[in-house]
Structure 1
Amino acid sequence: MGARIEVDRLTMRYGEVTAVDDVSFTVEPGEFFGLLGPNGAGKTTTLETVEGLRAPTSGSVSVDGRDPARREPDLQRRIGVQLQSSSFFERLTAVEQLRTFGALYGVASARLDELLEQVGLTEKADAQVEDLSGGQKQRLSIACALVHDPDIVFLDEPTAALDPQARRNLWDVLRGINDSGRTVVLTTHYMEEAEELCDRVAIVDHGRLLELDTPTALIRSLDAATRVGLDADALSLDEARSLPGVEEARASGGSLVLSTRDVPTVLAELGRREALAGLSVSQGSLEDVFLHLTGREYRA
């Protein structure tokens, strides 16, 4: 089976503004693919073009070999879309919202109960949308996108504005969607989210594709220093800076943070000095990759 989505030299212009600039990528069947970048990077415009909501200025997009801009009913039934901002009908309950969306596709009532359970809203089935929390509303919007059992699901910043706990709870829902065999395309400006969920990520900024690979490969290619954390009283700052293999040491809150590319040597020396209290080891991240690619602070 070939790629489910093919984007070839996609460009989108609005007057003198180029929102998407010569972007190309593919998404494979069953893949969890992420478009990662700050607000204004061109992620949503790219996604809306792939969904068929916008026609490209130049370049081409195909979904299962078809042009999504032609709005063919057969293709539209095979994709589900969760927009960045979702609007619901006023004074309807969660299950009534789903029933309304499902009626457009002739979906049986049993399917609605299954969806509510899948997104963790069974207990809120009879609650009006106005009474749902932000995370619950996002889960309901995802359920609406899944009501017709699509093969490909587009999620535009589904965890934006959620608190950390609600965001992590929603990650479990998103994993389940992908584990069920669906192809998922996600846009996000949360580095940790893309690293946690995506098989591959495309990092975009100012409308251009900067890099595309698995999160692990991108981090490995950076050759970033590993951070070793210790309790602040494990060593003095001067002692930490003099350790073999340590490139940099600094105090951070109640901890010491050592940077090294020779972890075995540093850990062996810390063990010899019995200075392992509060030990933590963390490698580079996608945020480090972004900073390396753009040379500036990340804009959320």
Structure 2
Amino acid sequence: MAWEGNLWVKLNRPLTDEEKRRQLRHDVPASETPRDNFSVFSMNDVFLESTNALFRMRGMLTYGCLFLFPLTSYMLYGQVHDMTHVPESVPRDATLTAVMVGMGVILIGIVVLFLATLWGFLQENFTWTRTPIRFNRETRMIYAYRGAGAKGVIAVPWDKAFFFVEKRRKEPISRVTPYLIRCHVLDANNNVVQSFSVGSTVSTLLDETTPTGRDIVKGVSDQFEYIRQYMERGPSVLPVPDLVPTQVSLANSMRIWGRTDKAILAERNFFTTLLVLALSPFTYFTALLHYIGQRTSRQPVWPPEVERECEQTRLAEPVRA
């Protein structure tokens, strides 16, 4: 198993039937409507740099940790205090020993939960501002910055990468089902040795077998088709992307987190508008955590050999947000 943001990815195994069924082929159109869906950092005639699926969700894990940290701290303090301040009136016999052993087991559980909370906090803070993926159409190579199972940059040929639509488990609170593009790197025996996500996650409350749910999930295929057409035909055939900002600022974090809300408000639906307004404090607070996480982190730097391969040969510098 390997960890990517807040996703567990199982490695060193064959492809599953579900992954094979959901495969996105580089030589077959995935959609008739290629869309970037706010997942492109920069694009030029040589390379396209994309977000990973968790970039826009940054701040969510910190949000949960902020609630767990004081709770686990209080539990830890209380448990240690109770174990070290046994009243003198309590007999020092086998019963007390059994109680102390039980309390020790509980203490270990609390310590594990406390450390897990700190670990989760560090997944979005004091790390990288982003984990980009580069698609080089001249060398037909893909470079993924520190994805699951990799100690450094993952490099895989475009023609050998295994892409598919990944369906994640339904989220317990919101009850939505997330879908995203995942790329597996396979060895000579077609076993998964490395993996990384690409683009933006789409989520739906409806099953993908329903017309509305199917239309929402189709957004993942639209994203892949945008990348596929870029690699096969170049940027001139594609709509100009709405670039994701790479500069760290509170305004950019607000823009990233508030983009979906603005789109919903533009539909002028009474019930969805009411829901967006009710959740707006949560949205803006999480955007603040997104900004703090980026501010405490450092920008990723591609290895020199990757930068050399991605140097411009035909156009000026890429447009960046």
Q: TM-score, normalised by structure 2?
A: 0.21
TM-score by length of 1: 0.22
Higher relative contact order (CA 8 A, sep 6+): 2
- Larger helix proportion of the pair: 2
